[in-house]
Amino acid sequence: MSALLEVNNISKRFGGLQAVDRLSLTVNEGEILGLIGPNGAGKSTVFNLINGVYPPDGGSIVFVGQDITGGPPYRVARQGIARAHQIVQPLGGLSVLDNCTVGACFGRQGLGLVPAREVAREVVDMIGLGDRPDMLAASLTTAGKKRLELARALSARPRLLLLDEVLAGLNPTETEGMIETVHKIRDSGVAILMIEHIMRAVMSLSDRIVVLNLGSKLAEGSPQQVADNPEVITAYLGDSKLLSVAEKPA
Amino acid sequence: MSEILLQVEGLEAGYGDVQVLWGISLKVARGTMTTLLGANGAGKTTSLRAITGAMCPRGGKVVFAGEDVTWLPAHAKAARGLVLVPEGRQLFSNMSVEENLEMGAYSRRARQHFRQQLDHVYTMFPRLKERRNQKSGTFSGGEQQMLAIARGLMAMPEILIIDELSLGLAPVVVQQLAETLKGLKASGVTVLLVEQNLHLALALSDYAYVIAEGRPFLEGPSAEVAAKPEIRQAYLGL
């Protein structure tokens, strides 16, 4: 396995808040890497740094051997990184197919309209929206919009897909379906970096996990390794040292 | 077991197309402290909002002191003594300490007992009395949380429901608040507590419910729950 994305020592500060602090991570060709951490750990900021929404204060981001540090996002998308946002961002007045066509036009291959539509059609089928390509994006259900968000990102034919909480807000059946879809995407050769709060899902999907806490890497390893890590357990369940006081008789 | 003060059965709730709770049930016995635990996004705050009427449940039942209050608005529930101390305190930051406490005693029942309840709260929190005329927005996080609890007490609660007691507070402040809660419990107040620090919540409470993905995960006396290895699964998925 070779490294597809190398994030080296990146930092980002917002006013008094060190949102990301000298973080390094690698996503290998063909793997699913889960990025987890308590609320406010800096996960979405890491995504924003990778796809160039804003530049890091320091450090570098190298994708397929090229320095992509600092974006801008449209150029990062052309280089082969696509992103499905946590808060879905469909073009509500366009159909499912047209949304994906836009993704293909501005993606890695920068396709013209006709081939873009072909790619879009393929992806729409693969993602499970093949029964309603002409439906307006705005009239899809939440689960449908989540799938469309994924489909539009995938239409860019990325080599790396950033998934930001694609399971949030889905019911159990839809969640199962989406997990299957994520597997299918990986099997098609696309590497995935995913942020996910539904721990059962991210633990079963990921090949490796990176745990963020307060902007830095707390742990890294297989799902089982990180779940057994005492520091990870403290970050999620709270510090047991507070107990010493709570247990004193009143 | 003593009288069940609050009973929630099969509670369902959500936002727009997104359903968050898929059947939460719990019981709180009078005079006890019960805690509701779970990872981020498990549905703890939504449960409290649906129980207290800050949002409308979609299904299930909330029975309080023998009365079905499921569909009552928040103010009617508060007037009956079902009182929420919301996450992030939500104080009136431009009002003084005492004005905030007055706002807590808004219902007719609480207003009638305003003086004696104010004395009671000031005895419990002498620091608030010292600073009765100070604007609450100038307080530290810990003092604000103390005031939020005091404001809740001014409503003459039968049950005080506290959302995220320790969020964003320094450990030493959390330990002071833990002492406050123990004092509340000793004085006979019934408490339903949501708290991010599992160890603290289990040490303070008598009974615990753990939820995951909007569903019941496990429950039991807090000491037993603390000893169960499965509890880690609710937070870490493995």
Q: What is the CATH number of the domain that holds B180?
A: 3.40.50.300
Report chain A residues whose CB lies below 8 A from the CB of B173. Answer: none
Tally of domains within chain B: 1
Q: Is B62 on the interface with A (CB under 8 A)?
A: no
Which residue type does A68 have? I
**Are residues A168 and A76 part of one domain?**
yes
Chain A residue numbers with beta carbons less than 8 Å from the beta carbon of B16 are: 142
pLDDT in tens, A204-219: 999 999 999 989 999 9
B chain contacts of residue A197, beta-carbon cutoff 8 Å: 39-41
Q: Which of A124, A155, A186 is the last residue of a domain?
A: A155
| A60 and A177 in a common domain | yes
Are residue A163 and residue A184 in the same domain, yes or no?
yes
Per-residue pLDDT, A243: 62
Q: Which amino acid is at B12?
A: E
Per-residue confidence band for B114, with pLDDT thresholds at 50, 70 and 90: very high
Residues A9 and A76 in one domain: yes
pLDDT score, position A249: 45
The answer to whether residues A55 and A165 belong to one domain is yes
In this structure, are A167 and A241 located in the same domain? yes
Q: What is the pLDDT of residue A127?
A: 92
**Would you say how long chain A is, in residues?**
250
Structural domain that includes position A58: 3-80+159-246
> What are B127's two structure tokens?
């620091």
Residues of chain A with pLDDT under 50: 246, 248-250
Instruction: Examine the fold and report which residue of A155, A178, A201 is the final residue of a domain before the chain moves on.
Output: A155
Mean pLDDT score across all residues of chain B: 92
DSSP-derived letter for residue B137 is G
Helix (H) or strand (E) holding A102: helix A96-105
Chain A CB within 8 Å of residue B16 CB? yes
Which residue range is the domain that position B43 belongs to? Answer: 4-236
Contact state of A237 with B235 under an 8 Å Cβ cutoff: yes
Beta partners for A146?
none
pLDDT given at position B165? 87
Residue-level pLDDT at B215: 93
Question: Could you identify the residue written with the tokens 């992509």?
Answer: A68
Region B50-58: mean pLDDT is 95
Q: What is the model's pLDDT at position A247?
A: 53
**Is the ipTM here above 0.85?**
no
Domain count, chain A: 2
Whole-number Å distance between alpha carbons of B210 and B103: 33
pLDDT at A65: 92
What does R_g of chain A's alpha carbons equal in angstroms?
19
- Residues A203 and A227 sit within 8 Å (Cβ to Cβ): yes
pLDDT digits (tens, 9 = 90+) for A5-32: 999 999 999 988 889 999 999 999 999 9
Residue among B95, B155, B163, B89 at smallest CA distance from B120: B155
Q: Give the closest of B18, B199, B235 to A169, CB-based.
A: B18
| CB contact set of B27 (below 8 Å; sequence gap of 6+) | B4, B6, B7, B8, B34
Domain identity same for A23 and A70? yes
- State the pLDDT at residue B237: 84
Is B35:B202 a contact under the CB 8 Å cutoff?
yes
Which two structure tokens, joined as six digits, stand for B116?
């004696």
Closest CA to A166 of B45, A177, A158, A137: A177
pLDDT attached to residue B8: 97
> A125-138 in b/e burial notation, b at 16+ Cβ within 10 A?
ebbbbeebbeebbe
Where is pLDDT greater, at B88 or B189? B189
Whichever domain contains A214, its CATH number is: 3.40.50.300
Average pLDDT score over residue span B143-150: 93
Note whether B12 contacts A: Cβ–Cβ < 8 A: no
Sign of CA dihedral B187, B191, B193, B199: positive
- Taking the C-alpha atoms of residue A138 and residue B167, their distance in angstroms, rounded to an integer, is 37
Q: State the pLDDT at residue A1.
A: 60
- A68 shares its domain with A174: yes
* B22 residue type, one letter: W
Q: Which of A155, A177, A211 is the last residue of a domain?
A: A155
Residues A132, A188: one domain?
A: no
Q: Is the peptide bond before A72 cis (omega within 30 degrees of 0)?
A: yes
The backbone torsions φ and ψ at residue A54, rounded to the nearest 5 degrees and listed phi first, read: -145, 155
For residue A190, report the phi and psi dihedrals to the nearest 5 degrees.
Answer: -90, 130
Interchain CB contact of B182 with A (< 8 Å):
yes
User: Distances in Å between the alpha carbon of B21 and those of B12, B44, B74, B124, B172?
Assistant: 5, 9, 19, 36, 34
Instruction: Chain B: give the shortest CA distance to residue A79, in Å.
Output: 34
Q: Do A170 and A70 belong to one domain?
A: yes
Q: From the candidates B22, B189, B228, B236, which should be mutated to test the interface with A, based on the most A CB atoms within 10 A?
A: B236
Q: Indicate yes or no: CB of B40 within 8 angstroms of CB of A38.
A: yes
Give me the count of residues in chain B.
238
Question: B161-218: per-residue pLDDT in tens?
Answer: 999 888 878 888 888 889 889 999 888 899 999 998 899 999 999 999 999 989 999 9
- Same-domain check for residues A70 and A144: no
Pair A187, A125 in one domain: no
